[in-house]
Structure 1
Amino acid sequence: MLTIDVPTRDELVRRAAQSVPALRSKAAWSEENRRLHEESIAVLAEAGVFRLRTPRRHGGYECDTRTLVEVAAELARADGSTAWTASVYWIPTWMACLFPDEVQDEVFATPDVRVCGTLSPTATAAPVDGGVVVNGRWGFVSGALHSHWQEIVAVRIEPGAEPVPIVALVPMSDLQIVDDWHTAGLRGTGSVTTVAQDVFVPAARVLPLGAVLSGQPASERSAASAIYRAPLLPVASASSVGTAIGLARAAREAFLERLPDRRITYTDYESQRVAPLTHLQVAEATMKIDEAEFHAHRLAATVDAKAAAGEPWTIEERARARADMGAACRLAKEAVDVLNNASGGSSIYSHVPIQRIERDVQALNLHALMHPDTNAELYGRVLCGLEPNTHYI
């Protein structure tokens, strides 16, 4: 068991901010090559990003979700793909901490271990002596190319029994990778498809999906820590939302950097900076960023406060968590849209960052769990007294 000094939130955010220049310098390479650069992985490791949700007994920091929001926002100022991949790692890493202690000892034996994952039950699991045999495939597995383990979801099928969804941990060496990540946005995440063909998974590395969704650790040591006693979806929502905030901040930063030297073509404005329209656009975008930050911070505050108090979650609170995430994503995208539309024809060149930011924030808003409309509908449905029409709440 390791004993380390745990950095404060301010220190971790400072480290993330210091990594921005190095990560930004590799953003174009990552987009072109559809994966993070090895140097970016090293920079993230040096900043402690991969340890944020790792148990302290394994050299991690057990950070609260407000720290995740702030760190991801700093990383996204450099590159949306880098921030998104880091935030995706945080979620399956948290899920790994719900497994029995001997499984955690195996997973976290690797320093700065990276666990990718998915919540899609697109595989089957057949029971055998000592575990299950899994066959299937999973798409959109962000960070798979740099991962050591993958958290998978499959449906356990047994004659004479009801199908049961399960979560399992599988070494990446047991899986095949299909390089199919050819996309318009978040290209650098390397969110490829992974395939399992007759992969045996020991019983210790299998949990019921329901237990994971409810935040019920199969580990006594994890159950003693507040951050592992929360439902999965609010945790995942708070883990993900910082990337949207950071992309909006990055768009404003990029816009203001180009502003003094930009004219408005076919007008007598020598600088876009003095045009009243520009003032309205910058103010509108900034207010939307402020609103997005409100929802992100309220979401994180709710997750952290309820975990610390050990309080159960109501269905309405769970639905609001997803609604806060969706609202933050929508508002961040709206802010980027305003600034992108104000950036002129020269902004479509590939070396101008705002065009990549626009595509990345659009991709983020299309994610099944991030989609603003899906999350708002779910919240409204619950507020109207109906049962949620999803288990992912």
Structure 2
Amino acid sequence: MVLTTDVPTREQLVRRASELVPVLRKNGAWAEENRRIHEESIEALADAGVFKLRVPVRYGGYEADTRTLVDVASELGRADGSTSWVASVYWIPTWMTCLFPDQVQDEVFATPDVRICGTLSPTAMAAPVDGGIVVNGKWSFISGALHSHWQVVVAVLVGGGGEPAPIMAVVPITDLQIADDWYTAGLKGTGSVSTIAQDVFIPSERVLHLGAVLQGQYSSVANAASPIYRAPLLPVASASSVGTVVGLARAAKETFLERLPERKISYTAYTSQAEAPLTHLQVADGAMKIDEAEFHAHRLSSLVDSKGVDGSPWTLEERARARADMGAVCRLAKEAVDIFATASGGSSIYSNVPIQRISRDVQAANLHALMHPDTNAELYGRVLCGLEPNTLYI
């Protein structure tokens, strides 16, 4: 299947995302209450081409670079953290699918606006059988699974005469069971339920060895020359994730400034919070932290995109810095949100005030195993000190 499409510019895609803010913001409270993205929001994202950003042009996609992902997700995150998170998560397994043999891509991308969820956690077991593997196990934190067509799964392959090794595979979501277990404090609307495989057969063409993928050994012929698809997985995943967090910080600033003109500081002589020097310091500090978060997000995406274009090999330090930049975005964005939340006063604890949802969402993002600021900073410092990384996820 080969399609032709007019590929929008980055500016056009960001503008489309900005135009979605009202509808996504309107549905944010519903998504949180119902623990899934509203169908209207899914349709709006599809109409804007958000699900096509990492799809190859030959299937009607946009093959957008990671700078575009950062800027689009930042706009979506201004509207609703959960919706932006799901869109960002879809971009990563969609990109991962582009590493598989081309006939596999033909099958997956035959669905218009296909949505692919996934994970990098090898929490299932696989056994070799004639023509493929059989998988059993459970994967948690599968954001967007409730709206997905396919899932990229990771499992440990045991048997066949070799050492146990992690594999990555693409599975129709209808082959899996859904465990409705997403009851959380933050990012409630993402619908990040668990999925379960019970004796699921996966043909061998839809299976890759994760170790080879992490080392940049991909199976697609058609995508081999594209700068978008020849970067390492972890830097790509890192750059795909950070825009949502930047958007949450921007949303915190916006919602604070929207409420500011009507607020006073209770039990003080300030009849206008906007006149208090403390407020000036808080707003300036929060705004500067957002600027710093944007710097790290854009430095990360620029590194991924520029190395994809020139084809130069990645150094260990660059890989570690990519994760460090992601962690810095999370830390700085959370610090900015905390400043605006603290300055919002007691009335902000009501559930109809957006800052409380923003605070819980940015906290949840900071707790993600691959995004945790402390974990990523330690990894970067370890490499800078001349030690080998203590993880395959780099």
Which interval holds the TM-score relative to the shorter structure?
over 0.9
| TM-score computed with the length of structure 1 as normaliser | 0.99
* Alignment-derived partner of residue 106 in structure 2: 105
* Alignment-derived partner of residue 302 in structure 2: 301
Aligned partners of 2:220, 2:389: CA distance in 1, in Å?
A: 29
Cα pair 1:215 1:228 within 8 Å, conserved = no
Amino-acid identity (%): 76
Aligned partners of 1:365, 1:155: CA distance in 2, in Å?
A: 27
Aligned partners of 1:216, 1:161: CA distance in 2, in Å?
A: 19
| Deviation string, structure 1 residues 57-94 (Cα, Å, up to 9, x no partner) | 00000000000000000000000000000000000000
Q: Are 2:51 and 1:50 aligned? A: yes
| Deviation string, structure 1 residues 99-146 (Cα, Å, up to 9, x no partner) | 001100000000000000000000111000000000000000000000
SS of the residue corresponding to residue 327 of structure 2 reads helix
**Structure 2 unpaired stretches of 5+:** none
Q: Are 2:362 and 1:380 aligned? A: no
* Alignment-derived partner of residue 65 in structure 2: 64
Aligned partners of 1:272, 1:288: CA distance in 2, in Å?
A: 21
The change in CA–CA distance for 1:159 and 1:216 in structure 2 (over 3 A counts) is closer
Q: Are 2:130 and 1:129 aligned? A: yes
Cα pair 2:128 2:160 within 8 Å, conserved = no
Cα pair 1:178 1:192 within 8 Å, conserved = yes
- Residue type of the alignment partner of 1:210: G
* Alignment-derived partner of residue 354 in structure 1: 355
SS of the residue corresponding to residue 152 of structure 2 reads strand
* Alignment-derived partner of residue 91 in structure 2: 90
Cα pair 2:104 2:205 within 8 Å, conserved = yes
1:251-330 counterparts in 2 under 5 A? Answer: 251-330=252-331
Q: Are 2:218 and 1:217 aligned? A: yes
Deviation (angstroms), 1:214: 2.6
Aligned partners of 2:215, 2:39: CA distance in 1, in Å?
A: 35
Q: Which moved more, 1:7-16 or 1:212-221?
A: 212-221
* Alignment-derived partner of residue 20 in structure 1: 21
Cα pair 1:214 1:230 within 8 Å, conserved = no
The total of aligned residue pairs comes to 393
Aligned partners of 1:345, 1:372: CA distance in 2, in Å?
A: 29
Aligned partners of 1:2, 1:223: CA distance in 2, in Å?
A: 19
SS of the residue corresponding to residue 321 of structure 1 reads helix
| TM-score computed with the length of structure 2 as normaliser | 0.99
Cα pair 1:95 1:212 within 8 Å, conserved = no
* Alignment-derived partner of residue 335 in structure 1: 336
Aligned partners of 1:97, 1:379: CA distance in 2, in Å?
A: 28
Cα pair 2:261 2:274 within 8 Å, conserved = yes
* Alignment-derived partner of residue 186 in structure 1: 187
**Structure 1 unpaired stretches of 5+:** none
Report runs of 4+ in structure 1 exceeding 4 Å deviation.
none
SS of the residue corresponding to residue 12 of structure 1 reads helix
Deviation (angstroms), 1:159: 5.1
Cα pair 1:315 1:382 within 8 Å, conserved = yes
SS of the residue corresponding to residue 223 of structure 2 reads helix
* Alignment-derived partner of residue 392 in structure 1: 393
* Alignment-derived partner of residue 368 in structure 1: 369
Aligned partners of 2:212, 2:18: CA distance in 1, in Å?
A: 36
Aligned partners of 1:359, 1:254: CA distance in 2, in Å?
A: 15
- Residue type of the alignment partner of 2:37: L
Cα RMSD (Å) = 0.6
1:162-181 counterparts in 2 under 5 A? Answer: 162-181=163-182
1:192-207 counterparts in 2 under 5 A? Answer: 192-207=193-208
| Deviation string, structure 1 residues 274-322 (Cα, Å, up to 9, x no partner) | 1110000000000100111110000000000000001110111000000
Deviation (angstroms), 1:216: 2.6
Deviation (angstroms), 1:253: 0.2
Aligned partners of 2:285, 2:367: CA distance in 1, in Å?
A: 23
Aligned partners of 1:141, 1:51: CA distance in 2, in Å?
A: 20
Aligned partners of 2:152, 2:5: CA distance in 1, in Å?
A: 27
Aligned partners of 2:177, 2:221: CA distance in 1, in Å?
A: 33
